[in-house]
Every structure is written in C-alpha cells, then in structure tokens.
Amino acid sequence: MSDEEAIEYLSNLRQIGKWSAEMILLFTFNRSNIWPLQDIGLLRAISNNYNKKYFPPKKFLNELYKKFSPYCSVATWYLWRSIDKEPIQY
C-alpha cells in the first residue's frame, strides 16, 4: 500500500485517526516519507526553527514537504529532537 492508502485504511479502524495512522506508519512500519501535520510537536519545532508563527502557514508546510520529500520522516524526527531539552536514551 502507498502511504496515503495505508493512512486511509488505518483511519477507518475504530478509534484510529489520521495522526495515529501516521504514527503507526512512522514508528511501526518505518515509512520514510510521513509528514504528520496534525502533530503539535512537529508544528512547534517548525515554528521555532524557521521563525514562523505558531501555527506555520500551510503554504510554508507544503514547501517544506517538497524540500524534505522523500525523507519527511527523517526531517520530522530531527525537528522533534530540536525541541527536546534533555537527550533521550534508547
């Protein structure tokens, strides 16, 4: 399935929304091009790192998507980490 098909399929399951479906694809299936625009942490990180208002404009988010594609998941990960004050140990 493509990312969009998988998100649509998972979103049709009971109590799974678009954000949850994107997190499943990102963390469980390691999909490389997930851009979870409903994620508050991602939006906050974009606002901080690119000096944009919170919430960043949709046009700017689309430009970033094009720039980071096909590795939006990696960009998302780095953006999330940029707002963590303490290092995370795995």
Cα–Cα dist 66/78, whole Å:
17
Q: Quick check: is 53 in a domain?
A: yes
Say how many domains are in the chain: 1
Cis amide leading into 27 (omega within 30): no
Q: Which domain holds residue 58?
A: 3-82
90 in any annotated domain: no
- Of residues 4 and 90, more confidently modeled: 4
Judge whether residue 85 has pLDDT over 90: no
Calpha distance 55→47 (Å, rounded): 7
CATH number at residue 44: 1.10.1670
88 domain residue, yes or no: no
First-residue to last-residue Cα distance in the chain: 30
Report the predicted TM-score, pTM, of the whole model to 2 decimal places: 0.86
Q: Mind listing the pLDDT tens digit for each residue in 12-43?
A: 999 999 999 999 999 999 999 999 999 999 99
Indicate whether 68 belongs to any domain: yes
